Structure formats: C-alpha cells, structure tokens
Amino acid sequence: MTVFHFFNCAILTFGPHAVYYSATPLSEYDTLGTSVKAALVYLGTALVKLVCLATFLKVSDNESFDPYQEFLKALIGFIDVAGLYFALTQLTHRNISQNHKFQAVGLGWAFADSVLHRLAPLWVGARGLEFTWDYILQGLEANANLVLSISLAALGSLMWLRKNKPKTLIPIIYTCAGIVATMPSITSYLRRGLGWHFPEVVGFQLFTSLVMAFISWQLFAACQRPSA
Amino acid sequence: MAQAKPGGERQVLESMYSMIALVFILVACVELCDAATVVDVYRLIQYDISGAPFGSRLANLNHHAGSLHFAPGSDLSRTVLIIPLRELNISFVKEYITQNQPLGGLLFLLPQIFSIENRERAKSNHQTDGEELLKNDLAELENYLYIPRYLISAQQEFGSSSYLLLLYPVYFAFEDDDIEAVLADVKRNDATGQLATATTGGYKFVVSVPEPKKRASPTITNIQGWLSGLKTDGDANQLPTIAVVASYDTFGAAPALSVGSDSNGSGVVALLEIARLFSVLYSNPKTRGRYNLLFGLTSGGPYNYNGTHKWLRSFDQRQRESIDYAICLNSIGSWDNDLWIHVSKPPENAYIKQIFEGFSNVAEELGVKVGLKHKKINISNPRVAWEHEQFSRLRVTAATLSELSVAPELLESTGSLVDGRPFVNEAAIIKSVKLVAESLARHIYGHEGKNVQIFADNSSLAVNPSYIKSWLDLLSQTPRVAPFLSKNDPFVLALKKELEDHTDEVNVQHEVLDGMFTFYDSTRASLNVYQVASVTFDLLLLLVLGSYLIVLFSFLVITTRGLDDLISLFRRPPSRKVKTA
C-alpha cells in the first residue's frame, strides 16, 4: 500500500501545477516552451545558488539559528530574483502577452523547484512502510510554493516589464516583492529560531501565500486599469 | 545531411532511454531502513530429531501486531502476538501450541534480567520473589516450546491428535522503552475490540531474513589437557589417571541467548580452577602426585554427550584402562546445601564407595551434604542423561557431581533462557571446587580420612574467587550452542589457551556430531516496527486530493475564462465527435 501513498503524495505535490496549466488560458496559447525555459533558468540559478552557499556559508552541525548566516542566506536567496528577472526580461519568448508570460514563468519556476527539492525525498521516503504526515505536508508546501512563485513572477513583471504603472503603487510593489523573495528566510527563521513544527510552518506558508497572491492580484489589476 | 540526421537523433534518443531506464532501476533499488523502531530479536531454535521437526519452523515475519487483549474469537492468522513474560498465561500458550491454532507469529518480551548484557544485577545474588516467579514461568514456557518430552505430554493433556508444529516464527526480545511504547499503543487499539489489519492500520512487524538453512555437518570440539604425575622407575604409563570432565556447550530455546551460566558454565569454571590449583601443586616435584590428571572439556553435552562418547572412543584400550575414575561436573552453580553424586554402578561397588566416602568426608568438613544417587543405565536406550554414563558404558568408573537430583530430559537444563548470570552463585562454585579439589588431593596424596586442608583459605593454594568470577562472566556472555560454534571460535581457542597454561599437554579434537540432530540457522535478526496507515486512509486521501484538484481546476477556469468556458469544457467532446463524423 505504500506505492499508493507515494502516488497520493505525488498527486498533491505535482498535480496543482498541471491543473494550473490546463485550467488557465496558458494551455490555449501553448506557453509550455516558456515554462520549460523558465525551469531551465531555475536549474541554472539553483546551481549558482549552491555554489554561493558552499562558498560563503559555514557548515553548521547544529540546527540553531545564526542571524549572520541567515542574513547571508537571505542575500544569496535574492539570486532567485535575479534568475526570475532574467527569465522574464531576457528570454526571447514568442509573442505572448505579459499576462501569460509571468504565469508561465512562475509555473515553470515552481515546477522545477518541486521536482528538484521534493521528488527524491518523496520517492525514497513515501514508499517505505512507515507512515508519517511529512510527505503530505511537503505536498502542501509545494502548493504554497506554486502560489508564491506565481505571485513573485507577477510582481516581477509589474516591476520590470510594465512601464506606465501608477506612481503610488510602486513602493507597495517593491515591498511585496521583497517580502515574497525573503519568504524562504522567514520560514527558516520560524522553524529554527522559534522552533515551530513542520505542520505550523506549512500552515503559515499556505496562509501567507494566499495573502500575497491576493495582494499581487489586486496590484496587477490596479496596474491594468490605466492602460486599459 | 538531412537524411543522416534522423538516424543519429534516434541513436541519441535510444541511448537516452537506456540511460533513463538505468537511472530508474538504480533509484528503485534504494531501500532505506526508515522503521520507527528496530529491535534485536532472537529466534526460537529450529531443529529436527531423526527428521521429526521441532521448534519454530519459519523466520520471516511481516504481520500486524496484536496484544493479549484481543477480542475472543478473532482470527490471529495474520497477527503477531506480543506476549510480555510478566503477563504470560502459560495455559493459553500451551493451548495455542497444542491445538495448532493459526498465528502470524509470536514475540515474547523478556525482562531485562534475562539479557546477556545484564551485568549490574549479577553483583547481588539476592533474588526477589517476583523474579523467582518470572524465572519459573519462563522455564515452563521454554519447555513447551522446544523440549520434545514436554511437547508430547502437552499433546496428551490437551488431547490433540495432530503432530505439534509451530508453523510460524517465534521470537524473543528484551523489554525496552521503545517496544514498551509500541505495546502500549497496540493494547490501546486492541481494547477497541478490533485487531490491527491492513484496513485499519496500526503497527507492522517485519523481520526479513533468508529462509533458515540446515547447518551442514555440525562439528563438535573436545579439548583435553594432561597433567602428568611423578614418574618412578621410568614407566609413566603405569601411573593411574584421574579424569575431571565438564561439557561446555549449551542448547536452549534461543541459541543466540543460550549461555548456560549454571549448565554447564559452572562446571567449566570449576574444572579450570581445579586445573589451576593442581598445576601449582604439580609444578613442584616435591608435591607432584603419583597420578596423572586428565582434564576434559567436552562438547555435544546436550545431545546425549556425543562429544564425550567420541572423545572416549579416541583413547586406546590401555589409556582407558589406566583411568582410575572420572569426575564429571555438571550444574554446580546454584545450590545451597545439597549436592548429588550420580553413579551408574551400585553403591556397594568398592570404587564407588571409595569415591563417595572421599567426597562426603570433605563435604562434612565444609558443612555441606552430599548424597549418592544410583541410576542404572540401559544400553539399548540411546538417551544418556549424565556424562558419566558414557564412561560407564566403556567400563570406566565415573561419577557426576551435580546439584540436580534427577536426570534432566533430553535437551533440558542445558542452557535455557533462565540460566543466566544473575541466577548463579559464585560461592556455590567455590564450595564445589573446594570439595572436588580437596577430595581428589586426599586421594592422590593418600590422606583419606585425615583432616588436612590442602587448599585452605588464605594459603597459596586457596581457591581464587576473582578467577572464578571472571571466567563465569565470560561464559555468561558467550552463547555456546555447538552447531553454531565454528572450529576456531575465539571462545574455544580461549578455553584451549587456558588449559595450556595449566597443563603439560593439550589436544584439541574435532568431530562431527552424529546424524540424529539437524539444526537450522538464522538465530538472531532485527525486528523492524513500522507504524502503517490503513488502506482506508489512503483511499480517503486520494478522494480528498482528487476533489481538491477538481475544485482548483474549476476555480481557475471560472476566474480566468469564466463559467461558460467551464461548462463548455464538458460539452466539447460530443461536438467534436459530430465534426469528425
């Protein structure tokens, strides 16, 4: 019955990406290529991040929270933003609207992240006889991550691609993007600094991802209006 | 160029596929041990006597756990029953065994006091009543698990006609916090009246070991050491010999736990100490006796003293006849006041009388009682209950010194689970050593009937308690079931080395155990305890996830394309059909 459990967890982890692609107009405009490219950019970014982490961070054996190390980690985390910037601006896309572009990039980004970080533990762990909630929670975390990635991509496209946006909204956009980009550091602080358990952290992630998604949606809609 | 390209691409693709397949195969092979708890377990012995099977016949285990609190009438054929010794109901076990009830497996939880590693308790020989009760319970349980005689009597008692077979794995484990926690959980579940199964989830016990294999031609190793007496007029062969013999191997319910501290670790310790004492005496020509001393550590003791039989056969007639008498030491480690000398010649026999009087004189001085027990041997009966009977069959005068007043059954009292260090009394062994050494010395130096203490306390010839203690500790940590001891086992080599230190000449004899017994391996294993989810849970989860994805899909379609699109999604297939038609 353990393959069953693996199957369930895999559905939870990777299903929403597929659903998102097929349910939204992304599938109609055939933006798969963009998503694949974004995923490749993610791979490159992850590699650069790994190299940076290995170069600048000390290996700590204990699970304690070290502010300086975490600050460095957060800084290195911004490499992600650079990667997203590259994916959004430099990649030559076929003529798809900005609206679909950021969604495709965010989707590819989140999917690559899920495959890279969650597939191997899932394969090794969820097929074992021992039952734990961990893999289900991990799947939920992947969902939150999808929402966050798309929000970040939306905010990024607002920042870098849209020229005529209302002046008053610009600081809000930048703050939101900052918050979303530092999300990994925030969760890491919650887990290690405050000693939260995995379910609580995942709950927090789900909640914040929904909030951020709502905010970025509103911002996007607000920016859309004057141009329309 | 354009034509060559597809072929090349296909080749690349094909090599990619094989690579991918290889990666998948490699990944599929990764099996990590991720059990909640791993417990060392010891399997009940599996053996055949002349083809008749005894003991647990299986080793592999993969079933859900249950406790003794199961609802009556439930089907246990796919359940591993955990039975803590403290809650053992012996008649329940007997009934289950004798009626061949189907069981997934049995796991007996033994208190830590029976563990080999348990050394702290050894310090105090004080036993509480609770421990005594536990010991008796365990001893009775063991009897009904593997000793043929008891199995047959239980069969008659419960009127079962079929042959008794434990067609399921039976394991022993020691209580610890992890397994106790699991047991508490299992009990809580069983209290609801439903056993854990695949549909309800719970704990799963998994022991994966290869199918038990027969041990091919088990060897037994006898070790003998000679301490030659003072030669007069050149001819040493005319010197009479006194033999001191103890069998050192064991047999018990769990071979990996069968240390036999009392049976017959105590005998081995006593023999080594006697050898040490006489080596001191014999090293000085002035105190060298006119007797050769022969020390024999024999193997195969549980199997009708097969090793002793082989060992005696290896002597030539002259050597055998030169043996004046032989003293066999068996289980002398936990007596209080009474020891028994078992003989197979009538007590009126002059030699027997001489031996017995020698021993009882010394015993009187030591303040203990020695009794004489006579048991005739029946040559046609293959059962040899005492080691001296092997000597008697070859017409060598011999006696067994033991605390047991009655001959044990085949395979009984040969190193059972209860026979551990905490239940052996060093003082008893010291008294036995004094008794044997003193009476031998008086016989050798002709001081019979006189009150001379050769091995008096505080003299240079005093019995050394720390020597006895250290050897007893070593023996109590070394399982010594002959079929599972290799020829050059470190323990056998240690015994040989120790005898070499105390005697002039040591010989090691390897023999093949006679064919009546067959043994099977895999005596110890690791039990993985998994907490598993039920199939129902998995199905429910799938349902929840499916509806989650459907809701998500509908939500996304409605927000991005509108409700009409969602409805049209379900209408599209028929319309396409119409088009193609």
The closest alpha carbon to B97, from B66, B142, B45, belongs to: B142
Is A16 close to B36, i.e. CB distance below 8 A?
no
- Residue B121 neighbours by CB distance under 10 Å: 17
B323 within 8 A of B392, measured Cβ to Cβ: no
| Structural domain range at position B193 | 37-214+524-532
Q: Which two tokens stand for residue A146?
A: 């999808």
Nearest C-alpha neighbor of B111 from the set B125, B95, B94, B132: B132
User: Are B148 and B255 members of one domain?
Assistant: no
- B158 shares a domain with B145: yes
Domain that holds residue A145: 2-227
Q: Biggest alpha carbon distance in chain B?
A: 126
Peptide bond into B264 cis (omega under 30): yes
- Which chain A positions have a beta carbon within 8 Å of B34's beta carbon? 125, 128-130
First CA to last CA across chain A, in angstroms?
54
Please tell me whether residues B271 and B196 are part of one structural domain. Answer: no
Of A67-71, B158-162, B478-482, give the range with the top mean pLDDT. B478-482
State both tokens at B475. 């023996």
| CA separation for the pair B359, B361 (Å, rounded) | 5
The reply to whether B231 and B147 lie within a common domain is no
In chain A, what residues touch B198 (CB-CB under 8 Å)?
A: 1
What would the mean pLDDT of A35-58 be, rounded to a whole number?
Answer: 87
B199 and B224, same domain (yes or no) = no
Handedness of CA B417, B422, B423, B425 (dihedral sign): positive
Contact A131 B35 (CB under 8 A): no
Task: Answer yes or no: is B13 within a domain.
Answer: no
The answer to whether the beta carbons of residues B414 and B250 sit under 8 Å apart is: yes
Task: Assess contact for B113 and B121: CB atoms under 8 A.
Answer: yes
Predicted local confidence at residue B550, as pLDDT: 92
Banded model confidence at residue B171, pLDDT cuts 50, 70, 90: very high
Instruction: Tell me the pLDDT band of B308, cut-offs 50, 70 and 90.
Output: very high
Report field, pTM of the whole predicted structure over 0.95: no
With respect to residue B459, please indicate whether it lies within any of the assigned structural domains: yes
- DSSP class of A118: H
As a whole-number percent, the residues of chain B with pLDDT over 70 amount to: 88
| Structural domains of chain B, count | 3
pLDDT at B538: 86
Search chain A and give the residue with CA nearest B542: A8
Tell me: do B453 and B467 sit in the same domain. yes
Residue among B530, B557, B560 minimizing CB distance to A129: B530
- Chain B residues whose beta carbon lies within 8 Å of the beta carbon of residue A14: none
Tokens encoding A151 = 């929000």
CB contact under 8 A, A1 and B198: yes
Residues of B at the A interface (Cβ-Cβ below 8 Å)? 27, 30, 32, 34-36, 198, 201, 204, 206, 528, 530-533, 535, 538, 541-542, 545-546, 548-549, 552-554, 556-557, 560-561
Distance CA B550, CA A15 (A): 10
Per cent of chain A over pLDDT 70 is: 93
pLDDT greater than 80 at residue B564? no
Cross-chain CB nearest to B535 (options A1, A11, A22): A1
| CATH code of the domain containing B417 | 3.40.630.10
Mutate to test the interface with B, among A8, A9, A115, A124 (most CBs of B within 10 A): A8
Has residue B4 got a pLDDT over 60?
no
Same domain, residue pair B229 and B359 = yes
**What's the confidence (pLDDT) of residue B579?**
46
What number of other Cβ atoms are within 10 A of residue B164's Cβ? 18
Better-predicted residue by pLDDT, A140 or B73: A140
Looking at the structure, do residues B504 and B562 belong to the same domain, yes or no? no
**How confident is the model at residue B29, as a pLDDT?**
47
Helix axes A32-56, A98-125, angle to 10 degrees: 60
Chain B positions touching A25 (Cβ under 8 A) are 560-561
Residue with tokens 């736990």: B257
User: Could you tell me the pLDDT band of residue B5, with boundaries at 50, 70 and 90?
Assistant: very low
Binning pLDDT at 50, 70 and 90, where does residue B457 land?
Answer: confident
Other beta carbons within 10 Å of B74: 14
Q: Is the pLDDT of residue B156 over 80?
A: no
* pLDDT tens column, A172-208: 888 888 888 888 888 888 887 788 888 888 999 999 9
| Residue-averaged pLDDT of chain A | 83
Contact B206 A129 (CB under 8 A): yes
Whether B98 and B127 map to the same domain: the answer is yes
Taking CB atoms and an 8 Å limit, are A23 and B557 in contact across chains? yes
Check pLDDT > 90 for residue B468: yes
> In this predicted structure, which of A129-133, B29-33, B258-262, B439-443 has the lowest mean pLDDT?
B29-33
B528 vs A contacts (CB less than 8 Å):
129
Over residues B376-419, the pLDDT tens digits come to 988 888 889 999 999 999 999 999 999 999 988 888 888 888 88
Instruction: Say yes or no: B410 and B471 in one domain.
Output: yes
What amino acid is encoded at B508 in this protein? V
Nearest to B541 among A8, A19, A123 (CB): A8
SS3 letters across B78-116: CEEEEEEHHHCCHHHHHHHHHCCCCCCEEEEEECHHHCC
Q: What is the pLDDT of residue A93?
A: 63
For residue B10, tell me if it sits in a domain. Answer: no
Which residue did the predictor score with more confidence, B72 or A39? A39
| Number of compact structural domains in chain A | 1
Whole-number pLDDT of residue B195: 77
For residue B382, give Cα distances in angstroms to B74, B96, B248, B512: 44, 31, 21, 18
Per-residue pLDDT tens over the stretch B195-227? 777 777 788 899 989 899 998 888 999 999 999
Nearest Cα of chain B lies from the Cα of A66 at a distance, in angstroms, of 30
Test the A interface: residue of B37, B207, B552, B572 with most A CBs within 10 Å: B552
A161-165, B100-104, B365-369, B371-375: range with lowest mean pLDDT = A161-165
Quickly list DSSP for B156-196. Answer: HHTT--SPP-B-S-EEEEE--HHHHHHHHHHHHHHTTT---
Residues of A in contact with B546 (CB under 8 A): 11
Enter the ipTM.
0.86
Say whether both B473 and B396 belong to one domain: yes
Ordered alpha helix ranges (H), chain A:
2-23, 32-56, 67-85, 98-125, 134-160, 170-181, 183-188, 198-227
Q: Which two tokens stand for residue A178?
A: 């900052």
Distance from CA of B526 to the nearest CA of A (A): 16
Band of residue B33 on the pLDDT scale cut at 50, 70, 90? very low
pLDDT grade, residue B55 (50/70/90)? confident
Lowest-confidence pick of A93-97, B9-13, B283-287, B423-427: B9-13
Residue pair B36/B205 in contact by the 8 Å Cβ criterion: no
Same domain, B342 and B271: yes
Average pLDDT of chain B is: 85
